Structure 1
Amino acid sequence: MGSVLVTGAAGFIGAHVCRALLARGERVIGLDNLTPYYDPALKRARLAAMTGTAPSGAFAFHQLDLSDHEAVLALMRAEPDLDRVAHLGAQAGVRWSLEAPFAYTAANVTGHLSILEGVRRSEGRIRHTVYASTSSVYGSRTDGAFREEDRVDRPASLYAATKVAGEAMSHAYASLYGLSLTGLRFFTVYGPWGRPDMAYWLFTDAMLKGRPIRLFNEGRMVRDFTYVDDIVLGVLAALDHPPEAGGHRVYNIGNSRPEPLLDLVAILEELLGVEARRELMPMQPGDVPATFADVSAMERDFGWRPTTDLRTGLTRFVTWWRGYFG
């Protein structure tokens, strides 16, 4: 058995994927730059929790920036048994792309190209690469389920535009160099060890500290909240089933059950035993009013469907929160 390179290994989804790969006996090479976009202490804690249960030698971590293409290429050359990549590292977050646009092109365009070049130069040794895209590529829509064949040439944010670019680059590299590539469009992932910039985390923190929660578009938002364990199972299912050489596929991976943001607030109020103080805000630039994944392609090709409802997932998140923060 070869080994798997996981980029964004200290990130929310990346750490969960590393843990799942280690649990099934894989050797994992983790890459992350520990960017201070949010507190790196959380990222280090994810790594510590993961490596604390991993067999000796099963996990190797490298602190590297994806945009440093020479360092990334050197790492990929130096691992002779590397045969798969789960490229989950990225600069995430719609709102911060308004403040730090060059961080997004560095991580999501140049960084994505670093991985594609590393795979190309492996001369077939790396047999499959799964990479993270996003539901944001669909832009501002409220007309029902998003399907993979829908147009994605009208992104509402720079973050989304960089992810569209990643998909386009992947298509070109698969066609030019015979690579096997699979893109996964994630839909609003949440759960334990999550990201502090996400609504469910911000709401929990504010409610427990007696601060108001900020509801953009006055709370009139709908999201296809997807529990992280379901996402991990989908990532592994895709990773285990590469397309033929020169194949590039893109799939939605979401809960396929969009929920009003105010329902999430109500569930958190119940779980935390705190009534939220609500601050109604206008729509933020770059945000979209709704997301809704059609996941029939994932089910058809990999037998994958999400199984975790929002209340169950939030219950697990709150349990983790109380254990982590005390």
Structure 2
Amino acid sequence: MPYRTSGLHHVTAIGGDPQRNADFYLRTLGLRLVKTTVNFDDPGTYHLYYGDESGRPGTLLTFFPWPDAPRGRLGTGQATTTAFSVPEHSLGWWKRHLEQAGVSTGEVLQRDDEDVLPFRDPDGLQLALVAHAQGDPRDPWDTPVVPGEHAVRGLHSVTLSVSREDATAGMLTEGLGLTFAAEDHNRFRFVAGDGGPGATVDVLVTPDAPRGLVAAGTVHHVAWRAPDESTQAAWREELVERGVGVTSIMDRRYFRSIYFREPGGTLLEIATEQPGFTVDEPLLELGRALKLPPWLEPDRAQIAATLPKLDLPRENNPVSA
């Protein structure tokens, strides 16, 4: 396997009301909105990117929020849990913080020597906070609502739910260059590189579960990192030679992308690490203005008129916070 991802790039989910979505991820989870743009394939809806200060790959959870979207159904053929990495011994603080914000949480679980706190966002998206015993060196986005000592460091892992694991495992190892790391009953862990936060995927085998329905409150796709465009192009050719149905390379403005489905049904993406989110606005102003790619700029007035008004909390801007 000549091409190996170094870890997760982002996870994209479908939400409902965009204001409720922004309030939850900015105020309750303490992330930063690093880009306010639109779904390039459907410009009538926002595409909101949440992450650390600069939106580094591996910290990003993004949303297509459709106000009238029907509720999805969790099941096989999709990513069913998105987990964030937080400091060790911080889950007590997070449990109190979430419950004070009206968010119901599950009991803290222990999995692979990590403490896991499950909960859901307002649209029912299944999330978790994972306190990694070996720590996470990534710098957090520090806000008055969620102080840095407890703040999210970035993505920890995703869980793919499948009816059987063999073909999915083959795609993860042979198509993405991951390695098998652990097995716990019906859960199989695969890692990129040395593993750890931001480089982990769990495959959960639930043969009797219904097929998932991707709509509000579910993950749309999971993106993995490619270092540059030339690697991505060669990687794409290798996938094509392997018989994988993969898209052409798409310009997503802040990265380049290819998409394909793993055999279990989950839509995967390989995204480049560059050019990043400061390509069209300065670091200190990320996320505050509606940004459109050049090919949509002629339709700016029409697009802006169709989007709901979005009020961002002061914490999203370090100058005015």
TM-score by length of 2: 0.29
Flag the structure with more relative contact order, 1 or 2, with Cα contacts below 8 A and sequence separation at least 6: 2
Higher strand share: 2
TM-score by length of 1: 0.29
